[in-house]
Every structure is written in C-alpha cells, then in structure tokens.
Structure 1
C-alpha cells in the first residue's frame, strides 16, 4: 500500500480525523517508492563531520555534527533523550536525498558541549541562534524528535522569524500538565517522578549506578528499550545499524557524567516558560498510534494548544519506527511547506 500524500489535519479538527496510514515504502526525491534502509551506510561515513565546535558569546563551546548534503538547505536537529548529536546519524541518507544540510548540536552538558549551570528550556534558543549565526544561516528548518520536541517548540516561540519550517516527531509534551506523565511507561514515569519528588535519590542513583553502568556499556539500556518495545519498534531496534547509532548516541550522552542527564530530566518536568498559544509559526507534528514511549496524548495536547498546528498520525507506527522508517516523508513535507516560499496569488 503506498504512502498517503499531503494529509494535514487542521488543529480545529484534530480529534475527528482518522490516523494517517503509513507502510514500509517511502518516496525518494523523484517520487518513486523504495524499500526502507534509511541508514544503510551512515555508520560507515567519515567521522570528520561529527565533531565540530563553535564558541558561544559567554565562552562556552557548543559541539555539533553535520549530516546530509553539505551544500543543502540548512536544518537544525534537536535530539532526543537520552541522546546527542550522533542521533541524527540515523537520518543522514534521507537528508542527502532531499538536499538538507542537517546540523545536530549537543545540548549543554551532553556529549561534547560545555555545561550551562541552572539552565532553563528557553536558554537553548540563544545557543541555537548563535549556532545559526556562526554558520551563516539567515533562515533554517527545525526538526525536533522525542525529547527534542520541547526544545524545538521553544525555538519556534523565540526564533520564528529565522525559521523556514518546524516539524516535531513523536514529541514529549509539557510534563507539568495533568495526565501526560501518568500516560508514559514505567521507566520514564519512575525517573521523571523521582527527579521531581525525590531529587536527592535521583542524583545518587544516576551518579553512582545508572550513568556509570551506561558509561561501561550502553547495551544494557538498549536491551531494556528493546525488551519493552511494541512490535513496530522492536523490529526496527533489532537492526544492527540502528543499534549501533543509538548506542553510540546514548554512550556519548554520559561522556561528562550524570549532571547533564539530570539537568535534562529536571527541565522536562518544569514549566516550559511560555504559553503554547503564543507560538504563532505553523508547526507540523507526526506521531505513531503505536507509540508507547511517548504516548500520542502528548502530541494531541501540543496540537490542541499551539496556535497553528497540523497533526499527522501514523497508524501502527511506534516511537522509533516512525522517525527511522519515515524520515523521507517527514522531510519531504517539511520542505514542501517551507515558509519562505513566495505566496501564490
């Protein structure tokens, strides 16, 4: 069954539309279907594009990786959690096909980026703007996946005049809102509740148990993810290339120890610092109906509160299968709806 093209759900009709049906075929830039193999050789690419730095105005270093077409249209990628710039390795091949130059920065205290003590969600927007300025991007696309969703939404709020388009994929919603944390699976629920209610216990467990174990080998965490994954995600996570990319990103996320990871968790459980209704730039959200990592309620909540949002549901796709197997379609629609195009009369 082919992919359904160009289906967008107006925010006013979010709860009355059937989910978008996706399957195991994608479209390339010529509109032809192809078999899924989105990271066929991404893990064999030269590493020299994966370690880059800029110096921020306050003297901190911000690390980033580059993927896709070096001469392509710029897109800044907000990675998930736990993750780093290396997560975007999964999307190198789709970005090459659609001529996107993907810039994936490490957030503060993760990977190779310097920490920023007591940072808040909105602080990230200044670093993204400095990165875009340093690379000479007047305008750029923005992609936020999973735990990168809140950061991408914050950028949509603060940097709207710099953006050609914003896409969120299975995004984490504001956990301070009723019901969103309760809907999540037990590993996330336990960790987020602990950092909110018993922070000392969280700090002790992450400093002296969880993070040292991940530093020793991230495979145990990957096996936990695989063990509780629904069928669509399990099929994807069993692929050697996916395992290699995700474990590399997880391992890199604890390079500096537990502080950056704990800071991320604290930020997720706090108010975002802005009203979602004040985000006026159009945002497209994709979410799989079989996602058990970040339940679809998160995207429905975001889409209902954002001023201009379209929500596309991928039937029987999970948290990993949707972005990994359908990034071609996601990028294709992002480019097709770019905001700097001339408006037709």
Structure 2
C-alpha cells in the first residue's frame, strides 16, 4: 500500500508540474511549425536544439531556460517588441531530453551549465543574462552559481526549488497537502523516513528504465497534460483563454520523446537537495538576481521565493498579488518590461 501511495503522489506531482508549466505565449507568438529550430552538436555528440527571438544584432544576449515539462518554444511568451526595445537577443534551448535536444542521463545541475557555455561560445558571446522559468529555475540558479564570470544577471519566474526548504505546515498552507503529508511522515520516525526514501528510490529507478519511462509516460504524463486545466490558477487560465491555440503547442513539443525518465530526473535534480546552497552566492553577485513570483501560484508556492530571498538577501524580490504561475509575466507587458529592464539596470560584467 505504501508503494501505491508513493506512485500516486509521484503521479500527482507530475500532474501538478504539467498543469501549470504548460505554455507561455503572447498574441504575437507564431505556431511551432513557424519557429525555425536550430541545432548545435555538443562535444559528447549530443544534439542541442534552440531557437532565437529579437534582433541578432541587439547587444544583450539572454539564455532562456524553460520549465518542466516544456520546450524551447516557451520563450515565445516574451514579447519580441519588448526584447528589441531593450536591446535583447533571446536564445531559448531545449533542456536535455526535451523537444529536439538529446537526453543526458548523467546530467547534473552543474553539468547543465556546460551546455550553456557551449551554446554561448557557439554564438560568440562570452557574457550573457539568464531567464529561468519554474522548473528551469534550479538550472538558472546553477548558472549564476557556477558561471559568475559569464552571467551578467538572473531573472527567475516562479522558480521551483528543493522541497525540503518548506516545512509541512508551509506546504499545507499553500494548498498542496500531498507534500505536507510526506513531510510529516518523514518526520514521524526514522523508520518511516527510511521507507519513504526507499520507495522514492525504487520509483525513480523504475522511471529510469526503458519500460518504466514509457509506461509512466503513457499512463501518467499524457493524462496529466490532458487535464492540466483542473489545477491551474485563475489568472493563468484566463491568460491561456486569450490564446487557446497555443495550449497544445509548447508542452507537446517538449514531450515528443515520450520519456518519463526525463521528468523524473528533472524532479530529482530540481526539487531534491541541490549540490550548492544559494546562500553561498556572493552578495555582489546576488545583487544581479531578480526573483519574481505570484501569490496565486498553484504549482510552486510563492513562499519558495521568500526562501530564496532569505538565503540571498541582496537579490531583488518581486511578489505579485494573485499573480498565478506565469500570467503576471506572459500576459502583463508592464511586469515583463520591468523584469527585463531591471536585468540591465542591475547588470554585472
């Protein structure tokens, strides 16, 4: 019974991720088929797929890191007009295993930054900004941590973080009782904590097999994406209602490899224990970090943004009342323009 409960909890987690990390779009966004995909062969032979927005001659490069599950197309939620107005050239990459980028089963938060370096070297740019959304947040933090001599500034949009940074009471207060229940069970006894760890490990190993990856994809992930509207913040749902044709574009592109293993690894890396502490980032580097989050977010509790800011008080914290998970950025050009212009205002390097 315990294992079945864990499977259910994992399914709920994937459903939650799929529900709100679906699509970021504006009315000027082209359909997926109209956005040319570009490719880079990495040193280990993997393909990295990306696309670009804004005028390539603009002086400031942004690397955009999408959520989970999603794809490089997520960045079309950033206005081309705003990018050009501020002098940005945005390049959005498929994370390994999403869209048309080859998977990397040995991926870590740190090794991901090697892909970012390879891409920016390919583009001929040594210093750049990073914008990271929701499930891309952990990778954005890794960039500012491991590439301080190259990253001029970081903008996080409803960034996910380690589950253990929030208490059971805090998880319960955010309307996500599943996480609260697991936290309370883990704290109840060493035996319970050990059993939960063992079940999590077993489930992750199963998801990492070819059979498990395909089975969980078809039984859990597809159903979660199909029912994403059921657990979406009102602000996000209203945002997508304006652009219904895009609901089926960004995530399906990200999931064309039909792999639950990629999602499982993303969850472990992004929501498990990180190999670094945000508090270890120097204050002068933190001053170039901008943390945005909406209080109405039903995917990643906005309390997570406060936790990040507590660890790095030199960063700039922006909490948007009833902002949802992405609507406050995608469907509010005032916020979007401020978020991007602040990158320039507080830029390093």
TM-score (norm 1): 0.76
1:277 aligns with 2:279: yes
- For the residues of structure 2 that align with 1:206 and 1:254, how far apart are their CA atoms? 16
Correspondence for 2:94: 106
Correspondence for 1:336: 345
Cα pair 2:51 2:93 within 8 Å, conserved: yes
Residues 92 and 172 of structure 1: CA distance in aligned 2, closer, same or farther (over 3 Å): same
SS in 1 for 2:40: strand
Correspondence for 1:3: none
Cα pair 1:67 1:103 within 8 Å, conserved: yes
1:52 aligns with 2:38: yes
Equivalent in 278, 291, 314 of residue 320 of structure 2: 314
Q: Which has the higher helix share?
A: 2
Residues 161 and 208 of structure 1: CA distance in aligned 2, closer, same or farther (over 3 Å): closer
Correspondence for 1:251: 252
1:1-345 superposed matches below 5 A: 39-43=26-30, 47-49=34-36, 51-72=37-58, 73-93=60-80, 94-179=82-167, 182=171, 186=176, 189=179, 197-201=199-203, 203=206, 207-208=213-214, 211-212=217-218, 221-222=224-225, 224-240=227-243, 243-256=244-257, 257-280=259-282, 281=285, 282=287, 283-306=289-312, 308-326=314-332, 327-340=336-349
- For the residues of structure 1 that align with 2:157 and 2:330, how far apart are their CA atoms? 10
Cα pair 2:295 2:321 within 8 Å, conserved: yes
SS in 1 for 2:267: helix
Q: Which runs of 5+ in 2 are unaligned?
A: 1-23, 184-195
SS in 2 for 1:313: strand
TM-score (norm 2): 0.75
Cα pair 1:173 1:298 within 8 Å, conserved: yes
SS in 2 for 1:42: coil
Residues 175 and 214 of structure 1: CA distance in aligned 2, closer, same or farther (over 3 Å): closer
SS in 1 for 2:154: strand
Pairwise CA distance, 1:48 = 4.9
Cα pair 2:25 2:246 within 8 Å, conserved: no
- For the residues of structure 1 that align with 2:141 and 2:294, how far apart are their CA atoms? 19
Pairwise CA distance, 1:139 = 0.8
SS in 2 for 1:144: strand
- For the residues of structure 2 that align with 1:324 and 1:276, how far apart are their CA atoms? 26
Aligned residues: 297
Cα pair 1:122 1:272 within 8 Å, conserved: no
Cα pair 1:60 1:114 within 8 Å, conserved: yes
Correspondence for 2:13: none
Pairwise CA distance, 1:176 = 3.5
